[in-house]
Amino acid sequence: MPDFRPDIRIGNDEWITYIDTTEGRDQAREADAVLEPLLPFFDSLELYCVAGCCGVHAFDFSAPTIAEAARTFERVALRRSIAEVIAALEALPAGVWISRRMCHFLHTLTLLPLLRHIGDVIDAG
Summarize pLDDT for 16-48 with one digit per residue, the tens: 999 999 999 999 999 999 999 999 999 999 999
Q: Does a structural domain hold residue 3?
A: no
The percent of residues in the chain predicted with pLDDT above 70, rounded, is 97
Taking CB atoms within 8 Å and a gap of at least 24, the contacts of 33-40 are 34/85, 34/88, 34/89, 34/97, 35/85, 35/99, 35/101, 37/81, 37/84, 37/85, 38/78, 38/81, 38/82, 38/85, 38/115, 39/101, 40/73
Average pLDDT over residues 56-60: 95
The percent of residues in the chain predicted with pLDDT above 90, rounded, is 93
- Over 60: is that where the pLDDT of 1 sits? no
Average pLDDT over residues 47-71: 96
Q: Does a structural domain hold residue 5?
A: no
Q: Which residues contact 104 (CB under 8 A, 6 or more apart)?
A: 51, 55, 56, 98
Domain total in the chain? 1
Q: Does a structural domain hold residue 103?
A: yes
The pTM of this model reads: 0.93
Q: Which domain, by its residues, includes 108?
A: 25-124
